[in-house]
Amino acid sequence: MKKADAMKKTLFAATAIATLGLAGCIHVDADEHGRDAIYENTETALRVCGGEGRVKEVNEDGFKCLD
Protein backbone atom coordinates (compact mmCIF):
# COMPACT_ATOMS: atom_id res chain seq x y z
CA MET A 1 0.00 0.00 0.00
CA LYS A 2 2.87 2.37 0.79
CA LYS A 3 4.35 1.88 -2.69
CA ALA A 4 1.05 2.87 -4.30
CA ASP A 5 0.85 6.00 -2.14
CA ALA A 6 4.40 6.97 -3.08
CA MET A 7 3.64 6.46 -6.76
CA LYS A 8 0.48 8.55 -6.44
CA LYS A 9 2.42 11.38 -4.77
CA THR A 10 5.13 11.23 -7.43
CA LEU A 11 2.56 11.33 -10.21
CA PHE A 12 0.80 14.25 -8.52
CA ALA A 13 4.09 16.16 -8.24
CA ALA A 14 4.92 15.52 -11.90
CA THR A 15 1.46 16.66 -12.94
CA ALA A 16 1.75 19.78 -10.83
CA ILE A 17 5.03 20.66 -12.53
CA ALA A 18 3.46 20.07 -15.95
CA THR A 19 0.51 22.22 -14.95
CA LEU A 20 2.78 25.12 -14.05
CA GLY A 21 4.30 24.91 -17.50
CA LEU A 22 0.88 25.12 -19.14
CA ALA A 23 0.05 28.71 -18.33
CA GLY A 24 3.32 30.05 -17.04
CA CYS A 25 1.99 30.69 -13.55
CA ILE A 26 -1.04 29.06 -12.02
CA HIS A 27 -2.10 30.00 -8.53
CA VAL A 28 -3.85 27.14 -6.77
CA ASP A 29 -5.68 28.13 -3.60
CA ALA A 30 -7.86 25.11 -2.97
CA ASP A 31 -8.65 22.64 -0.26
CA GLU A 32 -7.80 18.94 -0.61
CA HIS A 33 -10.93 18.25 -2.67
CA GLY A 34 -10.06 21.15 -4.98
CA ARG A 35 -6.53 19.85 -5.49
CA ASP A 36 -7.93 16.43 -6.37
CA ALA A 37 -10.30 18.03 -8.88
CA ILE A 38 -7.47 20.06 -10.42
CA TYR A 39 -5.30 16.95 -10.62
CA GLU A 40 -8.04 15.00 -12.41
CA ASN A 41 -8.86 17.91 -14.70
CA THR A 42 -5.18 18.34 -15.59
CA GLU A 43 -4.85 14.69 -16.54
CA THR A 44 -8.00 14.93 -18.68
CA ALA A 45 -6.94 18.22 -20.26
CA LEU A 46 -3.56 16.83 -21.30
CA ARG A 47 -5.27 13.88 -23.01
CA VAL A 48 -8.18 15.76 -24.58
CA CYS A 49 -6.31 18.88 -25.72
CA GLY A 50 -3.37 16.98 -27.14
CA GLY A 51 -0.53 17.80 -24.74
CA GLU A 52 0.90 20.58 -22.62
CA GLY A 53 1.15 23.12 -25.41
CA ARG A 54 -2.56 22.87 -26.21
CA VAL A 55 -4.05 23.51 -22.72
CA LYS A 56 -5.17 27.06 -21.97
CA GLU A 57 -6.48 26.75 -18.40
CA VAL A 58 -7.15 24.14 -15.72
CA ASN A 59 -9.20 24.76 -12.57
CA GLU A 60 -11.51 22.93 -10.14
CA ASP A 61 -14.46 23.18 -12.53
CA GLY A 62 -12.76 21.91 -15.67
CA PHE A 63 -10.32 23.00 -18.33
CA LYS A 64 -10.02 24.92 -21.59
CA CYS A 65 -8.00 23.98 -24.64
CA LEU A 66 -6.35 26.51 -26.89
CA ASP A 67 -8.41 27.17 -29.99
Query: For 9-28, how does the pLDDT look when each residue is reduced to its tens digit (9 = 90+)?
Result: 666 666 666 665 555 444 55
pTM above 0.75, yes or no: no
- Residue 40 near residue 10 (C-beta atoms within 8 A): no
Where the chain has pLDDT below 70, the residues are: 1-34
Residue 42 and residue 63 in contact, taking contact as beta carbons nearer than 8 Å = yes
